[in-house]
Structure 1
Amino acid sequence: MRVGLGYDVHKFQEGRKLVLGGVEIPYVKGLAGHSDADALIHALIDAILGAAGLGDIGEHFPDIDMAYKGIESSVLLSKVLDMIKGKFAVNNIDCIIVAQQPKLSPYKDKIKKRLADLLNIDEKRVNVKAKTEEGLGFTGKEEGIKAYVIVSLKELSVDMDN
């Protein structure tokens, strides 16, 4: 078993869609970024890469590469899952989305289902929590959103030399 922790943050920007966990959330602002700025999937990607010992999202999908401009983060997640295919399988994930606004509780089940579909795992292996920061910090002041994800990977083949 391997464990990885991912974190991502994006500030709000006018004129963009808000996408979290591959789900579009109705809100007056979206998140700024090179891709669709899905902070939750970015944190998930970093968690998977970390658990697999494969670096981080910026190494594989740099924000200076125009090939990733405006790309859906679910496409990047698919590429990461291809990287670990045959070596690791996602066992479970636990996610925290931190946002003062919008209220995310009504979308947690939809996000959970979308992530389970993207990862090809049972929904019971996906947990999504939404938190506020009681008005504190940049998220509390409604300047952006951050996400944390922890993932456990099952090792499919063990290399006894490492």
Structure 2
Amino acid sequence: MKIKVGFGFDVHQLKDGHPFVVGGVNLEHHKGAFGHSDADVLLHAICDALLGAANLRDIGFHFKNTDPQWKGISSVILLQETVKLIAAKGWQIGNIDAMLCLEAPKINPHIPQMQENIAAAIGMSVEDISIKATTNETMGFIGREEGVVAYAVCLIEK
């Protein structure tokens, strides 16, 4: 068996009046992530981790933010397409571990639903998907609620 590890990172600006989708969950908040797709920072970081592990470049290479077909698309679809890309190279996902960094809203109540959304999208158990959240202790652009960041690592195997 061959295994590889991937790392993903994503950041999105937060703007008043925008929807805030994280892990496929619509969060109630006065600000939301701004981007070409639904700007789901968590799923974008996971996609980058998976693509990187399989040596398939990054999310921007496959789903360009200048391509109208991806405008406003659910990042759940981007994740599903990413899984197809790595599967075409013979890889399957072992596990995913992700971290969100934002001041508000509180993420912990939504983590089980995020895990279920991701598990359903990629066909694996919620037991293999870890999501954590932290704040930036009111420092920097995250602390001022100007942006949201996500990190992810994954293990893939062949």
2:97 corresponds to: 94
Letter matched to residue 67 of structure 1: Q
What is the DSSP-based 3-state SS (H/G/I as helix, E as strand, rest coil) of the residue aligned with 1:96? strand
How far residue 13 of structure 1 moved from its aligned partner, in angstroms, is 1.5
**Aligned residue runs from structure 1 range 5-154, under 5 A:** 5-86=7-88, 87-154=90-157
Paired residues of 2:76 and 2:118 also in contact (CA < 8 A): no
What is the DSSP-based 3-state SS (H/G/I as helix, E as strand, rest coil) of the residue aligned with 1:9? strand
The percentage of counterpart residues that share the same residue type is 39
What is the DSSP-based 3-state SS (H/G/I as helix, E as strand, rest coil) of the residue aligned with 1:45? helix
C-alpha distance in structure 1 between counterparts of 2:148 and 2:35, whole Å: 12
TM-score where L is the length of structure 1: 0.92
Bigger CA drift: 129-138 or 83-92? 83-92
C-alpha distance in structure 2 between counterparts of 1:112 and 1:137, whole Å: 28
C-alpha distance in structure 2 between counterparts of 1:141 and 1:15, whole Å: 17
Paired residues of 2:20 and 2:29 also in contact (CA < 8 A): yes
TM-score where L is the length of structure 2: 0.95
Unaligned residue ranges in structure 2 (runs of 5+)? none
C-alpha distance in structure 1 between counterparts of 2:149 and 2:61, whole Å: 20
- Residues matched between the structures, number: 155
C-alpha distance in structure 2 between counterparts of 1:90 and 1:132, whole Å: 28
How far residue 144 of structure 1 moved from its aligned partner, in angstroms, is 1.3
Bigger Cα Rg: 1
Unaligned residue ranges in structure 1 (runs of 5+)? 156-162
**What's the C-alpha RMSD, in Å, of the aligned pairs?**
0.9
How far residue 118 of structure 1 moved from its aligned partner, in angstroms, is 1.3
Aligned structure 1 segments of 4 or more residues deviating by more than 6 angstroms: none
Paired residues of 2:41 and 2:148 also in contact (CA < 8 A): yes
How far residue 15 of structure 1 moved from its aligned partner, in angstroms, is 2.4
